[in-house]
Protein backbone atom coordinates (compact mmCIF):
# COMPACT_ATOMS: atom_id res chain seq x y z
CA UNK A 1 0.00 0.00 0.00
CA UNK A 2 1.35 3.43 -0.93
CA UNK A 3 0.78 6.21 1.60
CA UNK A 4 1.12 9.82 0.47
CA UNK A 5 1.04 12.67 2.97
CA UNK A 6 -0.84 15.79 1.97
CA UNK A 7 -0.87 18.99 4.00
CA UNK A 8 -2.21 18.84 7.55
CA UNK A 9 -4.52 15.87 8.23
CA UNK A 10 -5.02 14.57 4.69
CA UNK A 11 -3.62 11.21 3.61
CA UNK A 12 -3.89 9.35 0.29
CA UNK A 13 -3.69 5.55 0.15
CA UNK A 14 -3.20 3.67 -3.11
CA UNK A 15 -3.56 -0.05 -3.70
CA UNK A 16 -4.39 -2.11 -6.77
CA UNK A 17 -4.78 0.96 -8.94
CA UNK A 18 -7.40 2.55 -6.66
CA UNK A 19 -7.13 5.55 -4.35
CA UNK A 20 -8.62 6.23 -0.92
CA UNK A 21 -8.35 9.77 0.51
CA UNK A 22 -8.87 10.67 4.16
CA UNK A 23 -9.73 14.14 5.46
CA UNK A 24 -9.10 16.48 2.50
CA UNK A 25 -9.78 19.63 4.49
CA UNK A 26 -9.28 23.33 4.02
CA UNK A 27 -5.66 23.27 5.21
CA UNK A 28 -4.83 20.72 2.52
CA UNK A 29 -4.12 21.30 -1.16
CA UNK A 30 -7.06 22.10 -3.44
CA UNK A 31 -6.40 18.89 -5.37
CA UNK A 32 -5.93 16.77 -2.24
CA UNK A 33 -8.92 14.59 -3.16
CA UNK A 34 -8.36 14.64 -6.93
CA UNK A 35 -8.52 11.19 -8.48
CA UNK A 36 -10.05 9.60 -5.40
CA UNK A 37 -12.21 6.51 -5.80
CA UNK A 38 -13.35 6.82 -2.18
CA UNK A 39 -13.13 9.55 0.45
CA UNK A 40 -13.37 9.20 4.23
CA UNK A 41 -14.03 12.19 6.49
CA UNK A 42 -13.56 11.96 10.25
CA UNK A 43 -15.56 15.03 11.33
CA UNK A 44 -16.98 18.39 10.32
CA UNK A 45 -14.22 20.83 11.28
CA UNK A 46 -13.04 22.73 8.20
CA UNK A 47 -9.43 21.57 8.45
CA UNK A 48 -10.75 18.04 7.85
CA UNK A 49 -13.88 18.67 5.77
CA UNK A 50 -13.83 21.07 2.84
CA UNK A 51 -16.98 20.88 0.76
CA UNK A 52 -15.33 22.37 -2.32
CA UNK A 53 -12.58 19.75 -2.26
CA UNK A 54 -15.15 16.97 -2.00
CA UNK A 55 -17.40 18.35 -4.72
CA UNK A 56 -14.48 18.68 -7.14
CA UNK A 57 -13.43 15.07 -6.58
CA UNK A 58 -16.98 13.72 -6.82
CA UNK A 59 -17.71 15.69 -9.99
CA UNK A 60 -14.47 14.52 -11.62
CA UNK A 61 -15.19 10.85 -10.89
CA UNK A 62 -18.89 9.89 -11.10
CA UNK A 63 -18.07 6.56 -9.44
CA UNK A 64 -16.40 8.12 -6.38
CA UNK A 65 -18.13 7.74 -3.02
CA UNK A 66 -17.84 9.28 0.45
CA UNK A 67 -18.08 7.62 3.85
CA UNK A 68 -18.47 9.90 6.85
CA UNK A 69 -20.48 10.63 9.98
CA UNK A 70 -23.95 12.16 9.95
CA UNK A 71 -22.90 15.77 10.60
CA UNK A 72 -20.86 15.82 7.38
CA UNK A 73 -23.17 13.60 5.32
CA UNK A 74 -26.13 15.91 5.88
CA UNK A 75 -24.17 18.81 4.35
CA UNK A 76 -23.26 17.09 1.09
CA UNK A 77 -25.44 14.02 0.52
CA UNK A 78 -28.18 15.91 -1.35
CA UNK A 79 -25.70 16.85 -4.08
CA UNK A 80 -24.64 13.24 -4.62
CA UNK A 81 -27.61 10.94 -4.02
CA UNK A 82 -26.63 7.39 -3.19
CA UNK A 83 -22.93 8.20 -3.12
CA UNK A 84 -22.57 9.48 0.47
CA UNK A 85 -22.69 6.86 3.23
CA UNK A 86 -23.21 7.57 6.93
CA UNK A 87 -21.11 5.53 9.37
CA UNK A 88 -20.47 5.32 13.08
CA UNK A 89 -18.45 3.48 15.68
CA UNK A 90 -18.40 -0.28 15.10
CA UNK A 91 -19.34 -0.14 11.42
CA UNK A 92 -17.34 -2.02 8.80
CA UNK A 93 -17.38 -1.51 5.03
CA UNK A 94 -15.29 -1.78 1.89
CA UNK A 95 -14.33 1.40 0.02
CA UNK A 96 -12.39 1.26 -3.26
CA UNK A 97 -11.07 -2.17 -2.34
CA UNK A 98 -9.95 -1.13 1.16
CA UNK A 99 -11.51 -2.82 4.19
CA UNK A 100 -12.46 -0.20 6.78
CA UNK A 101 -13.48 -0.39 10.43
CA UNK A 102 -14.87 2.67 12.24
CA UNK A 103 -13.60 3.47 15.73
CA UNK A 104 -14.48 6.28 18.12
CA UNK A 105 -17.37 8.63 18.74
CA UNK A 106 -16.29 12.04 20.06
CA UNK A 107 -13.81 14.77 19.21
CA UNK A 108 -11.14 15.42 21.83
CA UNK A 109 -11.95 18.09 24.41
CA UNK A 110 -10.82 21.51 23.19
CA UNK A 111 -12.15 23.34 26.26
CA UNK A 112 -14.88 22.36 28.74
CA UNK A 113 -16.96 25.34 27.55
CA UNK A 114 -16.94 24.10 23.94
CA UNK A 115 -19.49 21.33 23.21
CA UNK A 116 -17.88 18.18 21.86
CA UNK A 117 -18.82 17.07 18.37
CA UNK A 118 -18.74 13.61 16.87
CA UNK A 119 -15.51 12.24 15.41
CA UNK A 120 -14.65 8.83 14.03
CA UNK A 121 -11.38 7.14 13.19
CA UNK A 122 -10.77 4.70 10.33
CA UNK A 123 -8.80 1.47 10.61
CA UNK A 124 -7.72 0.38 7.14
CA UNK A 125 -7.12 -3.19 5.96
CA UNK A 126 -7.13 -4.86 9.34
CA UNK A 127 -4.71 -2.44 10.98
CA UNK A 128 -2.33 -1.51 8.18
CA UNK A 129 -3.20 2.16 8.79
CA UNK A 130 -5.23 3.96 11.46
CA UNK A 131 -6.34 7.58 11.10
CA UNK A 132 -8.04 8.78 14.32
CA UNK A 133 -9.19 12.21 13.18
CA UNK A 134 -9.24 14.66 16.09
CA UNK A 135 -9.22 12.20 18.96
CA UNK A 136 -6.78 9.91 20.70
CA UNK A 137 -8.88 6.82 20.03
CA UNK A 138 -7.26 3.46 20.71
CA UNK A 139 -8.73 0.78 18.43
CA UNK A 140 -9.24 -2.73 19.78
CA UNK A 141 -6.94 -4.08 17.10
CA UNK A 142 -3.16 -3.99 16.51
CA UNK A 143 -2.02 -1.05 14.38
CA UNK A 144 0.94 -1.18 12.02
CA UNK A 145 0.95 2.49 10.91
CA UNK A 146 -0.60 5.18 13.10
CA UNK A 147 -1.39 8.54 11.56
CA UNK A 148 -0.48 10.62 14.60
CA UNK A 149 -2.20 13.99 15.30
CA UNK A 150 1.02 15.54 16.45
CA UNK A 151 -0.06 19.09 17.28
CA UNK A 152 -3.50 20.61 17.87
CA UNK A 153 -5.26 23.20 20.06
CA UNK A 154 -6.74 20.27 21.99
CA UNK A 155 -3.53 18.37 22.77
CA UNK A 156 -0.18 18.59 24.53
CA UNK A 157 2.92 16.60 23.76
CA UNK A 158 2.68 14.38 26.85
CA UNK A 159 -0.73 13.19 25.63
CA UNK A 160 0.66 12.53 22.16
CA UNK A 161 3.51 10.47 23.60
CA UNK A 162 1.16 8.49 25.85
CA UNK A 163 -1.13 7.88 22.89
CA UNK A 164 1.71 6.30 20.90
CA UNK A 165 2.59 4.19 23.93
CA UNK A 166 -1.00 2.98 24.29
CA UNK A 167 -1.60 2.17 20.61
CA UNK A 168 1.85 0.57 20.24
CA UNK A 169 2.06 0.88 16.45
CA UNK A 170 5.05 -0.37 14.49
CA UNK A 171 5.46 3.19 13.23
CA UNK A 172 3.78 6.58 13.64
CA UNK A 173 3.65 9.21 10.90
CA UNK A 174 2.84 12.81 11.81
CA UNK A 175 -0.41 14.37 10.65
CA UNK A 176 -2.37 17.38 11.93
CA UNK A 177 0.81 19.41 11.69
CA UNK A 178 -0.10 22.57 9.75
CA UNK A 179 0.25 24.68 12.91
CA UNK A 180 3.60 23.17 13.89
CA UNK A 181 6.47 25.40 12.84
CA UNK A 182 9.75 24.08 11.44
CA UNK A 183 11.46 25.54 14.50
CA UNK A 184 9.45 23.26 16.81
CA UNK A 185 9.59 20.08 14.73
CA UNK A 186 12.95 18.83 16.10
CA UNK A 187 11.58 19.09 19.63
CA UNK A 188 8.54 16.98 18.75
CA UNK A 189 10.66 14.52 16.78
CA UNK A 190 13.10 14.06 19.65
CA UNK A 191 10.53 13.71 22.41
CA UNK A 192 7.98 11.55 20.59
CA UNK A 193 10.68 9.42 19.00
CA UNK A 194 12.57 9.01 22.24
CA UNK A 195 9.65 8.41 24.57
CA UNK A 196 6.84 6.96 22.45
CA UNK A 197 8.32 3.49 22.08
CA UNK A 198 7.56 3.26 18.33
CA UNK A 199 9.35 4.41 15.22
CA UNK A 200 8.39 8.06 14.72
CA UNK A 201 8.42 9.34 11.13
CA UNK A 202 7.49 12.44 9.20
CA UNK A 203 6.67 12.97 5.53
CA UNK A 204 6.81 16.31 3.74
CA UNK A 205 3.49 16.97 1.98
CA UNK A 206 3.62 15.21 -1.38
CA UNK A 207 6.08 12.55 -0.22
CA UNK A 208 5.14 8.86 -0.06
CA UNK A 209 6.06 5.66 1.73
CA UNK A 210 5.16 2.00 1.38
CA UNK A 211 3.27 0.61 4.38
Report how far residue 123's alpha carbon sits from residue 36's, in angstroms, rounded to the nearest whole number.
18
Q: What average pLDDT is seen over the chain? A: 97
Burial 24-55 (b: 16+ CB within 10 A, else e): bbbbbeeebbbebbbbbbbbbbebbbbeebbe
DSSP-derived secondary structure letter, 190:
H
Q: Give the model confidence (pLDDT) of 159-197 as tens digits.
A: 999 999 999 999 999 999 999 999 999 999 999 999 999
Q: Give the model confidence (pLDDT) of 48-83 as tens digits.
A: 999 999 999 999 999 999 999 999 999 999 999 999
Residue spans per domain, the chain? 2-210
Q: Give the model confidence (pLDDT) of 128-159 as tens digits.
A: 999 999 999 999 999 999 999 999 999 999 99
What residues contact 132, with CB distance under 8 A and at least 6 apart?
42, 103, 104, 121, 146, 147, 149
Percent of the chain beyond pLDDT 70? 100
Q: Give the model confidence (pLDDT) of 14-24 as tens digits.
A: 999 999 999 99
- Is this model's pTM higher than 0.95 or not? yes
Closest alpha carbon to 176 in 128, 119, 117, 124: 119
Q: What class does CATH assign to 2-210?
A: alpha beta
DSSP 67-130: EE-HHHHHHHGGGSTTSEEE--TT-EEEETTEEEEEE--BPPPS-TTSPP-B--EEEEGGGTEE
DSSP-derived secondary structure letter, 44:
S
Handedness of CA 64, 69, 74, 75 (dihedral sign): negative
The torsion region of residue 184 among left (phi > 0), alpha (psi -120 to 50) and beta comes to: alpha
Using an 8 Å Cβ cutoff, are 50 and 28 in contact?
A: yes
Number of H helices, E strands in the chain: 4, 14
Strand order in the sheet with 199-201: 92-95, 98-103, 121-124, 129-131, 145-149, 171-175, 199-201
Average the pLDDT over 1-11 and give the result.
98
The pLDDT of residue 128 is 98
Report how far residue 173's alpha carbon sits from residue 165's, in angstroms, rounded to the nearest whole number.
14
Average the pLDDT over 111-116 and give the result.
97
The pLDDT of residue 198 is 98
Amino acid sequence: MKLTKKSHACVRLEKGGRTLVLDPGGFSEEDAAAGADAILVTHEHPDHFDEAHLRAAMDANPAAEIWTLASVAEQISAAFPGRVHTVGHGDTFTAAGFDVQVHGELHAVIHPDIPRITNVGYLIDGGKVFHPGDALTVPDHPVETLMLPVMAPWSKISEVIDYVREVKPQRAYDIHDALLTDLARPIYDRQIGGLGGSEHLRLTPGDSAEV
